[in-house]
Amino acid sequence: MRFIDEYRDAHAVRQFAQAIAQITTRGWTIMEVCGGQTHAIVKYGVDELLPPQITLLHGPGCPVCVTPVELIDKAVEIAARADVIFTSFGDMLRVPGTRGDLLSAKARGADVRIVYSPLDAVKIARSNPDRQVVFFAVGFETTAPANAMAVAQAAKLALTNFTILVSHVLVPPAIEAILGSEDNQVQGFLAAGHVCAVVGYEEYLPLAARYRVPFVVTGFEPVDILQGIYMTIRQLEEGRAEVENQYARAVRREGNLPAQKLVTDIFEVVPRKWRGIGEIPASGLGLRPPYHTFDAERRFGLTGYTADESPLCISGQVLQGKRKPFDCPAYGTLCNPEHPLGATMVSNEGACAAYYRYRRQELTADG
């Protein structure tokens, strides 16, 4: 299969692993930003092919994991209302808040529906004019264009029964927060290819220059990731801190300009709280004033809502690369996919879920 098989080719994997070993002269710590990359690394054992001097840390690039707990509580509260049809992608349904999750709300009788596109939610609103239809709009720069399109479509149709519960977050401010931390260990980044396919990679240029760290825009298959690591190590060994593009088959420097315009027409940059991390200035997207009528928090009067994380969960430290899943005393015991304490164990892109799925036997053997 084109663009898949060649990036899972065992010979190419071995070649890049050997090339990395040949150029590595000292210890380096690299963070892969995206949870999809984390899962590929753990699933294919990419980290086990690297020299022992190289450490991979897992970043905050899982949209489900960073959605704040109080927003889950708001979703559950809205969904419980009799006149509401609450729509969401399936991966949000089992994320725990302090008042349960959306799947439990559905079991109690709430009308919670899984959709495959925010435009599906718009269609449901058109078909149910007597019900309020809410779409759970979370994610990074990758999902923002489709959610902006849904709001634009609802405005065009003059729908008065459609809103979105929005918690969009932006990658570069989170990376800058990690780099600015006193205990930062990250020396280079694998930037998420799908985010850069939308926004390009020019935003990383000032970060690379200011903090003297290399960024390599990287894809999601084993050969992609090993090539991205090779390019990052090569920069570090040569004392360079530049932005390079391994994922050129999908990413252009300027990104997708029509998608960016659609997003900036509908959304504006706002401060945003990240689950387990806290508020990061200018790290999110909120609806612009002309579209406040489509804001579910305003429609249902749920602004100014707060909630606390479970004190047993260290997912915030995992998302910042400060701890790994095995470091958590609750990992695999009090916290597992059937009874998760935090979103990193629930999400298909969560680091804890990746280790539990692909490295659980290793933990059992060690323990």
| Cα–Cα dist 137/166, whole Å | 5
Residue 356, C-beta contacts closer than 8 angstroms, at least 6 positions apart: 325, 331, 332, 336, 337, 345
pLDDT computed for residue 308 by the predictor: 74
| Assigned token pair, 208 | 């690379």
- pLDDT for position 281: 95
Contact present, 187 and 236 (Cβ < 8 Å): yes
Average per-residue pLDDT in the chain?
A: 92
Which residues have CB under 8 Å from 136's CB, separation 6+?
A: 75, 86, 87, 88, 89, 92, 164, 165
Q: pTM of the prediction?
A: 0.90
* pLDDT score, position 311: 81
Strand bridging mode 84-88 / 54-61: unpaired
> Could you count the other beta carbons within 10 Å of the beta carbon of residue 111?
18
Rounded (5°) CA angle 223-144-308: 95
Sign of the Cα torsion 202, 206, 208, 209 reads positive
CB neighbour burial string for 39-62, b if at least 16 within 10 angstroms, e if fewer? bbbbebebeebbeeebbbbbbbbb
pLDDT above 80 (res 328): yes
Region 279-289 average pLDDT: 96
* pLDDT attached to residue 364: 54
* Cα 86 to Cα 239: distance, rounded to the nearest angstrom: 51
CB-CB neighbours of 100 under 10 Å: 15
76/81 Cα distance (integer angstroms): 9
Largest CA distance in the chain: 67
Q: Which two tokens stand for residue 20?
A: 């990395």
* pLDDT level of residue 367 (50, 70, 90 thresholds): very low
Percent of the chain with pLDDT over 70: 96
Q: Give the model's pLDDT for residue 263.
A: 98
DSSP codes joined into one string, 64-109: HHHS-HHHHHHHHHHHTSTTEEEEE-GGGTT--BTTB-HHHHHHTT
* Cβ atoms of 212 and 266 closer than 8 Å: no
Q: Which residue, 133, 118, 165, is CA-closest to 286?
A: 165
User: What is the spatial distance between Cα 13 and Cα 21, in angstroms, rounded to a whole number?
Assistant: 12
Position 362 scores a pLDDT of 57
Mind listing the pLDDT tens digit for each residue in 51-100?
999 999 999 888 888 888 899 999 999 999 999 999 999 989 988 888 88
Rounded distance between C-alpha atoms, residue 297 and residue 294, angstroms: 9
Q: Which residues pair with 270 in a beta bridge?
A: 284
Q: Check: CB of residue 35 under 8 Å from CB of residue 347.
A: yes
* pLDDT, tens digit, 9 for 90 and up, residues 225-260: 999 999 999 999 999 999 999 999 999 999 999 999
pLDDT at residue 236 in the model: 98
Q: Report pLDDT for 238.
A: 98
pLDDT of 2 over the 80 cut:
no
Instruction: Give the pLDDT confidence of 147-182 residue by residue, as tens digits.
Output: 999 999 999 999 999 999 998 999 999 999 999 998
Structure tokens at 68: 């704040």
CA distance 59 to 321: 6
